[in-house]
Amino acid sequence: MKLGVVSHRSTAPVWETIPIGRAAIRALYAELALHPKPGLVSPLDSGSHDDMDMTTFMRSLFALRGYYRDIAAAGARGADFATLQALGIAAEQRMLAATGGVNTHRGAVFGLGLLTAAAGWLRGTGKPLCGQALGGVVATLWGGDILAESPRAPDSNGAHAIRRYGVRGARQEAAEGFPTLVKVALPTLVRTFDILGCEERAMVQTLFALMATLDDTNLLHRGGPEGLDFAQTEARRFLDRGGVFRSDWRTGAVAAHHACVARRLSPGGSADMLAAAWFVHSLRHRSERS
């Protein structure tokens, strides 16, 4: 997306960015509260995870509340990537302290954090808070620095998967303006919600669309290419059979959940993207009501 002449300073007062930070936390909670989600933590069970449950995630969300408020305000000030990164590092440390060292939201600290900063920047420029605009801000203002910066956690599971299998990671996705969010997640979410008027079904449909598309490094770490292929095949089968538009959609989604749990597979990257999509969706609805 072309932003035209980019000013590196927004005129939004800080108080205008507080609702943006709250929207980010609400989006993460909406993803957490959703069920069924193949292999992922929900209020009903811990999915494929032995080291975390919903309580762990709630502690993490509580620790991250101030982060999304602060990074939205930093974006509104036109902060550079180094400033945003410093906020993310501090937030990640608070998250790990709250969870006893368990990584619940590292991907969301990075991806959703950048989108929150972009929303702060756009708030003061009068531009729409749609997914394409948000992604365009991230790519234009911070994309080059995102790619130039060495991975902060080169020994992480995701970094290993990227090097071993040659797939795109979260940094590439962000630097390119979140194309999967714009082309897959948001259209699926908006279309399903507009037709059915049901948040739960719209989010489940979007999660399966992401699982079918995304080369999720969490799946590659846990199951290698075979695990990724299995999860993608299960997701496509669910969608090809009608997805949430079928009356018995929940039965099919639960079956996919059990199949992923049996193989210890967890599409964490898709979950992060789902939360990002719900964040953008909620901003759009807030703007329409204003």
pLDDT at 8 over 60: no
Query: What mean pLDDT do residues 65-88 have?
Result: 95
pLDDT tens by residue, 136-188: 999 999 999 999 986 655 566 667 777 787 777 899 999 999 999 999 999 99
Query: Rounded to whole angstroms, how far apart are CA atoms 130 and 231?
Result: 29
Ramachandran class of 49: left when φ > 0, alpha when ψ lies in -120 to 50, beta otherwise? beta
pTM for the predicted model, two decimal places: 0.92
CA atoms lying within 13 Å on the CB side of residue 92: 17
Peptide bond into 187 cis (omega under 30): no
Instruction: Please name which of 156, 273, 56 lies closest in space to residue 46, comparing C-alpha atoms.
Output: 56
Task: Give the pLDDT confidence score for residue 129 in this predicted structure.
Answer: 84
Q: What residue ranges do the domains of the chain occupy?
A: 14-289
Task: Give the pLDDT confidence score for residue 5 in this predicted structure.
Answer: 35
* pLDDT confidence band for 287 (50 / 70 / 90): low
